[in-house]
Chains A and B, each alone.
Chain A
C-alpha cells in the first residue's frame, strides 16, 4: 500500500495527478509517430495512422499506407492510400474515419478500412487547397472545419447532414493563422483563430476580435490553443512561454502559468474530470510533458519516445510506439482512501477489511471507529466509488471486498450501487482486455451508455462478447441479444465468398424466431450488398408477410410482392403493390398478373368500378370475360347512356358479348330489351305518356290502362307473354279501371288459364260483391267453397262443402259461421259431419 500512491503527483495543494499504463503497444511500428498523420478516437477508440503522408512520389512502394489499430495496438485494417494527399484525419462520433484531402474531398472509412462514402467541402477548395483541417464533435454529431489556401474557413457542424458554411473573411489576414480551433457554443460552431497578437472569433455572420481577460502583456503571438472536451474551457500558449487558461467564452480567466519554454509545444490538451473543480492542461514537447494548472509548480514528465495525446472526458491518453498510458486527476474517492495517512471512513474500512482477513482484532477497532462517527454508509459508498476508478482488477476487488465487508454491518443498505458497480466493472474489464482494446474509464462508460458501447462492440464485429454482455446484464432481448444477432446477420450477408444457401441457413440457425429480429431488415442489407437472391431467401424466414412486401417491391419482385401482400391479408398492402405494378408494368402485363390473383383482381375491379370504368372494360376484354363484359354494357345502357340510340347500341354490344360467352339466354333477353326499348319509344311518340324503362309487364298494363287493348295484345304476342301472365295482368288492370263490362267480356273470351277464383278475389278487393258473385259460380269445384266464402255466401258454401264431403272445407266454412244468421248453416254442417261419421 505504501507504494500505491507512488505515481501520484501533486499539483498545487488540492489535486493529485497520476499516470498509469493501459497497454504496452503491440503494434510493430517502423516509423516514428512524427512521420505519420495520427488520429485517435475518444472514448478509448481506434487509432488511425497514415504513413508517408507527405511523400509526393508516385512509386507504389512509397505510397502512403493507412493503418487502423485498436487502442491496444491490434491491427484492424491496413490499406494502401491511392487517393490524393491527405491533410488531416479524424474520427467521427460513430467511429468513422474522416480523411480530409488537400482538394477538399473528405473520404469516409469504416473501422475496418471499408470505404463508406465521400463528400466535398466546397468547390472553391479545388483551387486553393486545404491548408489545415479539424474534425470536432458537437451535439449533432461530428463536424469538419477547414482552412483553405485563401485563408478562408469553411465548416460543417454535422457531416451526417452536410451543410457547408463558409465563414466570413478575416480582415487583413495574409498568412495562415498561427493556430486555430473550432469552438462549439450554444449549439453553434465557431472558429477561434490567432493572428500575431490578436484573437478573432468567427461565427457565420461576422468576424470579431476578442481579447482574453487578464492576459499577461508582451504577447506577440499565440503558438497553441486547446479547447476542453466539453468546449467549456480554453487554453492559450503564447510565444513567451505563458499559458492562459479561461472559459471558452473568453469572459473569465481561471488561471495562468508561465513555463518559460518558448519552443512551440507539439500538443496541448485539457485534462480535467467532470464535476471536479480542478483545471489542468497537459502540454507536450518533443521529450517533455508538463501538467500545469492553478498552481505555481507544474508536474513534469520526461517522454522517452515520440508520444501523442488524446483528450478524453476525464483525462488524457498518451500513446507512443511502445506504451499507451492514461493521465488523469485522481478522483476524490480514491484520494480520500489512498492519501497517505488518510482517516477518511473509506480508508478505515479498507484497512478494517484487511485486518479482518488477517484475523486481527484491529479490524474491530477500525470498524468501531467508523461506526462511532456514524460514517459506515459513507465508507461503503466511498469504497464502491473508488473501485470504479481503479484500473487494476486486484485493486477493484479489494475495494469491493471492503465495501461488501462494511455492508454487513449496515441495515438496509440499498444493494443497487454495489451490484451495479460489480456488473459495470466486469463489463469494463472485459472491454479493456488487450484483445478488445477499449480502455474506457468508468466515467467515460457512464457517459457513453451501455447501448453505445454495445454498438461499438458490434462495429468491431465482437458479436460474441456483445451478446455475453447483454446476457450478463440481462438486457431485454429486443434491445440486446436480438439486436446484436441482427447486426451479426447483416455482417454475415456481406461475406461474399459464402453461398446464398449457406448464409441464409446459418442466419436462420442462429436467429431462429428470436423476438425483435426483423428478417426483412437483414434482407434489405443483403439487397444493399447486391445479393438479391439471398435477400429473397432471407425474406422467406420473415414470419409477417406484410414486412416482406416493401423490400420485394424495391427489388422489383413485384409479382412476388403481390402474392406476399395477398398472403398477409392486408388489403391496403395489396393495393399499394397493385398501384406499384400498374406503374411498373405495361397494361397488358399488369392485367395478366391480376388474372392469376383473384383477390387482387377483385380489389382492383372494385376500385375501377368507381374510379376508372374504362379500365374495367379493358380488364374484362383482356380476360375474355364476355359474361362480365355483357353485364358491363347492360349497366351502361341505363346508367351511362342517355339517348335511346346509345342505349340500344350498348345493349347490342352486350348481346354480342353474351353470345360470345355462350349465354344464349342473356343474349336473347338483351335483344328482347332492345326491341322493347325501340317499341316503347314508338309508343311514346304515338300515344304520348311514359313508356320508356317500364318492364314488359308494366308496358302492357299501361297500354291496357290507357285503353289500347289491341296494342297490348299485339305486344303480348310479339314478346310471347304467357297466357297466364296476360290474364293476370289484364284482370288486374281492368279491375283497377273498374271496367267491369270489359272484364266480363274478357272472362268470356275463352276459358281462363288461371281459373276464376282470381276474378272473385279481385272484385272483392275492389269491394264489388255484385261482380264477384258473377264469377263465383264459374269457379272450379276445388276452389268453389273458397270463392263462395269470399263473396260471403256461407250457406251455399256449406252446401258445396257437404256435397264434396271434404272435412277441411267443412271446418273452413264452419269457421266463417258467425253470429245468429249463420246458425242454421252451422247446424247443417254439424249434421252433415255426424252423418259422414256414421257412414264410415
Chain B
C-alpha cells in the first residue's frame, strides 16, 4: 500500500518561501507609510503606457478591510485574522453586494481585478459622497491590477478618490508539490471568452519561480495558451536578465499544458481517494469541510488535506477500492499500539503517554475522519448507481456500445439526476466521438432544456464554442467550410486568434489519439488495483489520462520528436514547443524534478497519476495549476445560470 518514494527520489524545493513573500508584501501594503520601492516596477509600466503617474497614497493607521469571498481561503492560508489585526486592520468584512456597515475612516479593499468589484466599490464611495462623508479608500488588487478596472473607476467618477495597489500574490503552495494560482476563472475567461488577461499573470508567476528557484534548463509545452505564456515569460526574463543568470537550476524541466489539450481526463469521474473527496465534498484551497455525516457529531469540521496528514498522505493516491482495506488495517495497527500499554510498567507507561499517545490520538482522529468520509462517499455513490455510471464512462472512453450510452445519458437527463452530471456525460460523449451525430445532438439538447430550463440554450452555445459539446459535421459540405475557416484562423495574427470559429475548426480526434498513445490498456484478466501497472489505475485501469501520457512521452524523448502525428491530432501543430539550454549546470538531481504547469486547471486524478509515474521512473513532479479542478467545476464554469 501507499507506495513509498524511491530512495533516490530528488528532494523538493521549499515552497513555503512563497507564502512568506506574499505575507510580507501584504503586511507591507497594509502598513505602508512611505512610497514603496522594489516590489514591482510600477513606475515602469506606467511610464511605458504614458499614464499619468499618481503618487501612491498611503493609508497608515487602523482601517477596515473588505475581502473578496474568493480571496478569503487563499488569504487564510498565508495570513490569518490575528496577523491581519496585528498590522493595523481593525474589522474584516466580506465584499458582497450590500451597503457597508463599517464606521472606520479608512477602508481598504482586497479584491480580484474584476469589473463587478469596481462597481461595488464605486457604489460605496458614491453613497458616502451623497451622505457628505469623506473617508480614505484604497484598493489592493490581487494578483494584479487591470487597466479596465481603473477605467471603470474613472467612469464611475471615483478614480481620484481611491488609491490603488497591487498584491502580487499569485502562487499559493497548497502542498509540498502543489502550487495553485487560485484562479478558477482562468478556465472560463480564456477557453470560453478568449480573454488573455491572465496569461500575463501566469508568465509573472513563472518568472517569480525562476528568480527564486533558478532557471529551468528544459522547457516543453503544448497548447496555444502555453505557448503565449511561455513567450511572455521569456520576454520578462530577457527584460530583467542577469538576475537568474548563473544560478544553478533547482528544477530541471518545465512542462506547460493547456487544459483544452485534454478535456477527457478532466471530465471523467474520479476514483482515486483525493479526487473522490474533491468530487464529493469539494476540496477548497487545500481543505475540505466534512459535514456531520462524516464527523459523526453534530458539527462540521474543516480539515486541511495535505502531506502533513499522515493518514491522508498514505491513501490520497489510492484507488478507492483499496482505501477501506487500508484504513481497517491501519485501525488494527493503531489498536495494537494502544494495546501495548497493557503489559507496561510505570516507567514505560510514562514514556508512552508523554511521547506516543499524542501522536496516536492524532492519528486516531484522522483515521476516524477518513473512515467517516469513506462511508459517506460509499453511501452517495451507491445511491446513484455509481457502477452503472462508471460503466458508461468506460464504454465511452473505449468507444463501444455508443447507442446504449447515449440512451443511458438520455435517461439520466429525463430523471433529472443532476444537471451538471448530465452535461458532463454529454460532453464526454461528444469529445470521444468527435461530436454528436445531429439527431442525438438535437434530441439530447431538447431533453436537457425540458429538464433544466431554457437558459441552458446559452450553456450549449458556450460548450459549443469551447469545443466541449459539438455536432458532427454532416458530409463534406461543412468540412469545406471548416478548412476554409481553419485557414482563416491560421492566417490571422499568427495564431493569436481565439474565437467561436477556432473551436469549429477543431476536432477532438480522441479515438485516434487514444489508439496512437495506447490510452486504453489491454487487460488480460483482472486489473490489479492494489499493485498498479500504469497510470490507468487512477481510472480503475480503464484509461490512461491523456495529459499524463503526453507528459510521459515527451519526457522520455526529451522532445516532441516522433509525436508529430499526435500533436497534429491534438490540433496543436503550431503550439508544441521544446526549448533546451545547452548549459549543463543542472545537477542530475534537479533533472529529475519536473514542474508541470496546467493552464486551466488540473484534477487530483492527474496529480495522482503523475505521482505514480514519478515513483516508477524516479522523477518527482511539482504541479502548478491555475486552480485545482474537476468535472463539476468545468461544467459549472460553462453553465449559464440565472442570476
Chain A residues with a Cβ under 8 A of chain B: 544, 546-547, 550, 563, 566-567, 569-573, 575-576, 579, 596-599, 601-603, 605-607, 610-611, 627-628, 631, 634-635, 638-639, 665-666, 669-670, 672-673, 676, 693-698, 719, 721-722, 724-725, 728-729, 732, 754
Complex: A722 Cα to B451 Cα, angstroms: 12
Nearest Cβ in chain A — how far from B412, in angstroms? 11
B37 within 8 A of A: no
| Residue in chain A with minimal CB distance to B455 | A638
Residues in A neighbouring B496, C-beta threshold 8 A = 566-567, 598-599
Closest-CB distance, A514 to chain B (whole angstroms): 14
Contact indicator A665/B49 (Cβ below 8 Å): no
Give bound CA distance, A550 to B457, whole Å.
42
User: From residue 35 to 67 of chain B, which have CB atoms closer than 8 A to chain A?
Assistant: 45, 48-51
Given the known inter-chain contacts A544-B239, A610-B116, A695-B454, please indicate yes or no for A599 contacting B414, CB distance below 8 A. no
- Give the residues in chain A near B199, CB-CB below 8 Å: 569, 571
- A723 → chain B closest CB, angstroms: 10
Closest A residue to B155 by CB, please name it.
A611
By the criterion CB–CB under 8 Å, are B148 and A607 in contact? yes
Which A residues touch B410, using CB under 8 A?
724
Closest to B385 in A: A761
Closest 3 CB pairs of A and B: A602-B194, A610-B115, A572-B147
- Can you give 27 contacting A-B residue pairs, CB < 8 Å? A544-B235, A546-B48, A569-B200, A569-B231, A570-B200, A571-B147, A571-B199, A571-B200, A572-B146, A575-B151, A576-B51, A596-B492, A598-B497, A602-B499, A606-B195, A607-B148, A611-B155, A631-B457, A631-B461, A634-B454, A635-B455, A635-B640, A670-B457, A673-B454, A695-B454, A697-B451, A725-B447
Q: How many Å lie between the Cα of A576 and that of B414 in the bound state?
A: 49
A residues in contact with B399, CB < 8 Å: none
Find the B residue at minimum CB distance from A572: B147
Whole-angstrom distance from the CB of B149 to the nearest CB of chain A?
10
Q: Is the CB of B193 closer than 8 A to any CB of chain A?
A: yes
Contacts A575-B151, A579-B151 known; A697 to B450 CB distance under 8 Å?
yes
B residues near A672, Cβ cutoff 8 Å: 454
Please give, as numbers and ranges, the residues of chain A lying within 8 Å of B643 by CB-CB distance: 639
Q: Is the CB of B194 within 8 A of A599?
A: yes
Q: A665 contacts B195, CB within 8 Å?
A: no
Contact of A563 among B189, B449, B493 (CB under 8 A): B493
| Distance (whole angstroms) from the CB of B171 to the closest CB of chain A | 20
B458 at the interface (CB under 8 A from A): yes
Chain B residues within an 8 Å CB radius of A695: 449-454
Bound complex: CA of A724 vs CA of B450, how far in Å? Answer: 13
| Contact indicator B414/A571 (Cβ below 8 Å) | no
Known contacts A569-B228, A724-B414, A576 near B147 by CB under 8 Å: yes
Contacts of A722 in B (CB 8 A): 414, 447
Contact A634 B458 (CB under 8 A): yes
- In the complex, are the beta carbons of B492 and A598 less than 8 A apart? yes
For B453, what are the chain A residues with a Cβ–Cβ distance below 8 Å? 693-695, 698
Contact residues in A for B228 (Cβ distance below 8 Å): 569
Provide the bound-state CA to CA distance between A634 and B459, in Å.
Answer: 11
Contacts of B500 in A (CB 8 A): 627-628
| Interface contact A550-B48, CB-CB below 8 Å | yes
7 additional contacts, CB 8 Å, given A570-B200, A634-B455, A672-B454? A566-B493, A569-B196, A572-B146, A602-B196, A631-B458, A666-B457, A666-B461
Residues of B near A611 (CB, < 8 A) are 115, 152, 155
Contact mask for chain B residues 188-213; partner A; CB cutoff 8 A; 1 contact, 0 none: 01000111110110010000000000
Proximity bits, B450-475, A CB within 8 Å = 1, else 0: 11111101100100000000000000
Contact: B411 with A724, CB < 8 Å? yes
The chain A residue sitting closest to B410, CB to CB, is A724
- Is B379 at the interface (CB under 8 A from chain A)? no
Contact bitstring B532-565, A, C-beta under 8 A = 1, else 0: 0000000000000000000000000000000000
Cβ of A724: which chain B residues have Cβ within 8 Å of it?
Answer: 410-411, 414
Residues of A within 8 A of B450 (CB): 695-697, 719, 721, 725
Report the minimal beta-carbon distance from A2 to chain B, rounded to whole angstroms: 58
CB contacts (< 8 Å) of A635 on chain B: these are: 455, 458, 640
Does A572 lie within 8 Å of B454, measured CB to CB? no
CA distance A696 to B454 in the complex (A): 9
For residue A273, give the distance in angstroms from its CB to the closest CB of chain B.
41
- State the Cβ distance, B315 to closest chain A Cβ, in Å: 26
Identify the closest chain B residue to A651 (Cβ): B454
Q: Shortest Cβ distance from B574 into chain A, in angstroms?
A: 15
- Chain A residue numbers with a CB within 8 Å of B451 are 695-697, 725
Task: Specify which chain A residues have a CB less than 8 angstroms from the CB of B416 in the assembled complex.
Answer: 697
Chain B residues with CB under 8 Å of chain A are: 45, 48-51, 115-116, 119, 146-148, 151-152, 155, 189, 193-197, 199-200, 203, 228, 231-232, 235, 239, 410-411, 414-416, 442, 445-447, 449-455, 457-458, 461, 492-493, 496-500, 640, 642-643
Q: Which residues of A contact B497 (CB under 8 A)?
A: 598-599
User: Which residues from B are CB-within-8-Å of A571?
Assistant: 146-147, 195-197, 199-200
Q: Which of B442, B445, B642 contacts A693 (CB 8 A)?
A: B642
Which residues of chain B are within 8 angstroms of A698 by Cβ–Cβ distance? 453
* Closest chain B residue to A632, Cβ basis: B458
Question: Is A607's CB under 8 angstroms from B115's CB?
Answer: yes
Q: How far is the CA of A754 from the CA of B231 in the complex (A)?
A: 56
Q: Which residue of B lies closest to A579 (CB)?
A: B151
Q: Which of B148, B446, B642 has the most CB of A within 10 A?
A: B148
Q: Please give me the residue from chain B that is nearest to A700 by CB atom.
A: B450
User: Quick one: which of B148, B232, B450 has the most chain A CB within 10 A?
Assistant: B450
CB < 8 Å neighbour of B232 from A569, A607, A638: A569
- Given A627-B461, A695-B450, A697-B450: A598 in contact with B499 (beta carbons within 8 A): yes
Chain A hits for B119, CB < 8 A: 610
For A599, what are the chain B residues with a Cβ–Cβ distance below 8 Å?
194, 196, 493, 496-498
B114 CB → nearest A CB, Å: 8
Whether A575 and B147, one on each chain, are in contact in the complex, defined by CB atoms closer than 8 angstroms, is: yes
Alpha-carbon distance between A419 and B148 when the two chains are bound, in angstroms: 56
Which of chain B's residues have a CB closer than 8 A to the CB of A631? 457-458, 461
Minimum C-beta distance from B637 to chain A (A): 15
CB < 8 Å neighbour of B148 from A575, A597, A693: A575
Which residues of the other chain, A, contact B445 by a CB distance below 8 angstroms? 665, 669
In whole angstroms, what is the CA distance A750 to B203 when docked?
A: 64
Chain B residues closer than 8 Å to A598, beta-carbon distance: 194, 492-493, 496-499
Whole-angstrom CA separation of A20 from B196 in the bound complex: 71
For residue A571, which residue of chain B has the nearest CB?
B197
Interface centre among B151, B200, B446, B642 (most CB of A within 10 A): B446
On chain A, the residues within 8 Å of B499 by CB distance are 598, 601-602
Compute how far the CA of A670 lies from the CA of B458 in the bound complex, rounded to whole angstroms: 11
Q: Given A597, A602, A669, which contacts B454 in the complex, CB threshold below 8 Å?
A: A669
Is B642 touching A576 in the complex (CB atoms < 8 A)? no
CA A725 – CA B417 in complex, angstroms?
13
CA of A724 to CA of B452, assembled, Å: 17
Decide yes or no: A670 and B447 within 8 Å by CB, A566-B493, A573-B49, A602-B195 being known contacts. Answer: no
A566, A635, A669: residue with the most chain B Cβ atoms closer than 10 Å: A669
Question: In whole angstroms, how far apart are the Cα atoms of A676 and B450 in the complex?
Answer: 11
Whether the Cβ atoms of A603 and B492 lie closer than 8 Å is no
**B125 CB → nearest A CB, Å:** 17
> Are the CB atoms of A575 and B493 closer together than 8 Å?
no
A579–chain B nearest beta-carbon distance, Å: 7
A606 near B193 with CB under 8 A, answer yes
CB proximity of A816 to chain B, nearest CB, Å: 14
Task: Given A599-B497, A639-B642, check contact A670 B454 (CB 8 Å).
Answer: yes
Would you give the shortest CB distance from A391 to chain B, in whole angstroms? 42
What is the CA–CA distance of A464 and B398 in the complex, to the nearest angstrom? Answer: 73
Cβ-closest chain B residue relative to A602: B194
When distances are taken between beta carbons in the complex, the residues of chain B under 8 Å from A550 are 48-50
Give Cα A669–Cα B451 distance, bound, in whole angstroms: 13
A721 to B146, CA, bound (A): 48
- Name which of A606, A628, A754 has the most chain B CB atoms within 10 A of its CB: A606
Interface centre among B45, B416, B499 (most CB of A within 10 A): B416
